[in-house]
């Protein structure tokens, strides 16, 4: 009889050891699920899910890079808008130059170097100075926009990073043949009129090029927004806790631990019974 009790106790002890191991394992799983429910984050370390953790970290790095490119695109649009505004003002200046040159080139103000033409020339020289000032002072973050190197913006189309260069040319009077001229005579006024008309066409072409570049940057920002949004959704699927699944898991772990505790308690009672018989 004693032998049978002892053998039963030994068997119970083995079950108790298994139950204790399962209890500790279940407690760890229960703590992990509880933490996921409290933080809402399924991935906190690589051991939670090696593949998803690696994918998630790569996505986070790419999202940061895409946001930086988007910021560059946004600054590019602002830069283009500043340049376009200066070109518009430049066209207004040139249009006024063309107007007063037309008057000086006609006979309405009399012969050459008359008071009327002298007055027109004073305004003309002021307009030329304004054009030079516009060229020199059109800047973004300290960079002159109408320089010889053009404008460069970071672009990411279809996942391929590259720089988009927008070519701009200076809008000063020297570049466009207005420096050192006057409209005091019919002949010089006619030359200035032709030169101003050509400059207006040049400025308009630049505005067209800038408009094309701006549209590309806007389209690219739309692409980046969609790409970032898709990756953020993927991040959510990878990292966010599934509340329903984790709640079910917590309930299962609690039931398992109740069962493990019952086995351990039974083992303690069996051991006590053996000790009673041995006394």
Each residue's pLDDT tens digit in the chain (279 positions)?
A: 444 444 444 454 556 566 556 656 665 655 565 565 555 565 565 555 667 666 777 878 888 888 888 888 888 899 999 999 999 999 999 999 999 999 999 988 888 999 999 999 999 999 999 999 999 999 988 888 997 776 776 665 555 667 777 888 999 999 999 999 999 999 999 999 999 999 999 999 999 999 999 998 999 899 899 989 988 888 777 665 554 565 655 566 565 656 656 566 665 555 554 445 445
Backbone φ/ψ region at 248: left (φ over 0), alpha (ψ -120 to 50), beta: alpha
CATH (residue range 64-238): 1.20.1330.10
pLDDT at 61: 84
The total number of residues shown for the chain amounts to 279
pLDDT at 141: 85
pTM beyond 0.75: no
Bridge partners of 153, per DSSP, are 164
pLDDT at 251: 64
Buried residues in 233-249 as b, exposed as e (16+ CB within 10 A): eebeebbebeeeebeeb
pLDDT at 107: 81
pLDDT at 168: 87
Residue ranges covered by each domain of the chain: 2-40+250-278, 64-238
Q: Which of 199, 84, 67, 86 is nearest to 134 (CA)?
A: 86
pLDDT at 277: 47
């Amino acid at each position: 009889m004693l032998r049978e009790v002892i053998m039963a106790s030994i068997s119970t002890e083995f079950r108790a050891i298994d139950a204790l191991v399962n209890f500790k394992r279940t407690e760890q799983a229960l703590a992990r699920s509880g933490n996921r429910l409290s933080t809402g984050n399924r991935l906190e370390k690589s051991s939670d899910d090696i593949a998803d953790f690696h994918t998630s970290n790569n996505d986070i790095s790419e999202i940061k890079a895409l946001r930086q490119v988007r910021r560059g695109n946004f600054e590019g649009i602002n830069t283009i808008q500043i340049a376009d505004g200066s070109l518009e003002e430049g066209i207004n200046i040139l249009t006024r130059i063309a107007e007063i040159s037309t008057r000086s080139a006609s006979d309405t103000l009399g012969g050459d170097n008359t008071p009327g033409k002298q007055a027109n020339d004073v305004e003309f020289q002021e307009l030329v100075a304004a054009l030079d000032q516009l060229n020199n002072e059109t800047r973004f973050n300290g960079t002159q926009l109408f320089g010889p190197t053009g404008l460069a913006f970071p672009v990411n189309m279809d996942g391929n990073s590259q720089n988009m260069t927008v070519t701009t040319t200076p809008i000063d009077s020297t570049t466009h043949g207005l420096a050192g001229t006057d409209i005091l005579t019919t002949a010089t006024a006619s030359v200035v009129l032709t030169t101003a008309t050509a400059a207006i066409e040049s400025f308009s072409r630049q505005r067209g090029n800038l408009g094309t570049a701006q549209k590309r940057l806007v389209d690219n920002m739309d692409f980046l927004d969609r790409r970032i949004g898709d990756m953020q959704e993927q991040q959510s699927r990878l990292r966010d806790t599934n509340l329903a699944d984790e709640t079910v898991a917590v309930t299962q772990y609690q039931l398992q631990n109740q069962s493990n505790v019952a086995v351990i308690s039974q083992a303690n009672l069996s051991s006590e019974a053996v000790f009673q018989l041995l006394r």
